[in-house]
Structure 1
Amino acid sequence: MPELKLMYIRQRKYMFLLLSVYVLGWGFTSYQSIFLGLILGTALSLFNLWLMARKVDRFGEAVAKGEKVHSLGMISRMATAVLAVMIAMKYPEKVHLISVVIGLMTSYIVIMIDYFLHSIHLHK
């Protein structure tokens, strides 16, 4: 299995772990709007991670075949973020806006942490 696909699978597992912690926090604490914002942002961040992994895979195939290379889908990822913020602004009593923004950044934080953990593991 290519290294990028293994990386995506690892990062997806971390994201699902975080989502399960957020669901538990939503269900068992009184900070439901904060955890709902984290759930919304992280779920859409996971979707963005999937989009990015798929686009990178197609990008690599196009380069290998010598075909025309398309973008990596920044507009679609930005539209997802706008959708999350619009939902948070539509229901401010249910969804905490700052938590949504933090949740949207989760995949990038997970990517960085995964990189550092994996590079430390490789150098041992």
Structure 2
Amino acid sequence: MPEFRVMYNRQRKWIFYLLSFYVLGWGFTSYKTIFLGLILGTCFSFLNLWMLVRKTESFDKAIAKGKKVRSLGSLQRMATAAIAVIIALRYPQYFQIIYVVLGLMTSYIVIMIDYFYHALHVHK
């Protein structure tokens, strides 16, 4: 499980880099609603990644102890994504919904890029 935590730390670092890039884009460009949508979606995406890691660790501990596991929290992650979309729909003058959805997919894109990067460089 420590390697799982190392992967999460790498992915967290890349998401924070993206968030800092989005904040700079919000601050220095005229595309405020686009970058705010990306920021909102990416923040909720990071929250979803954190919840997934937490649930996976508890899943691993429960399996090691031989206990039954309820779920990995898919409904909870869908609900947080729905909250982000509701916020974007409630305040369309600040957020563009398409970019909120793209931001929500950020953690999954970072996970895939991280996997392919380490599969190519580590397994050479």
Question: Which category describes the TM-score, using the shorter chain as reference length?
Answer: over 0.9
Match of 1:86 in 2: 86
Q: Structure 1 residue 69: deviation in Å?
A: 1.1
Give 1:22's aligned amino acid.
Y
Match of 2:40 in 1: 40
Q: Structure 1 residue 93: deviation in Å?
A: 1.2
Give 1:10's aligned amino acid.
R
Q: Structure 1 residue 121: deviation in Å?
A: 1.3
Alignment TM-score, normalising by the size of structure 1 = 0.98
RMSD (CA atoms): 0.8
Between the aligned partners of 2:50 and 2:27, the Cα distance in structure 1 is 27
Give 1:28's aligned amino acid.
F
Structural mapping, 1:1-124, within 5 Å: 2-124=2-124
Between the aligned partners of 2:46 and 2:11, the Cα distance in structure 1 is 9
SS of 1:71 mapped into structure 2: coil
Give 2:25's aligned amino acid.
G
Alignment TM-score, normalising by the size of structure 2 = 0.98
SS of 2:95 mapped into structure 1: coil
Give 1:46's aligned amino acid.
F
Q: Structure 1 residue 110: deviation in Å?
A: 0.3
Q: Which runs of 4+ in 1 moved over 3 A?
A: none
**% of aligned pairs identical?**
65
Count how many residue pairs are aligned between Structure 1 and Structure 2: 124
Between the aligned partners of 2:47 and 2:75, the Cα distance in structure 1 is 14
Give 1:106's aligned amino acid.
T
Q: Structure 1 residue 51: deviation in Å?
A: 0.2
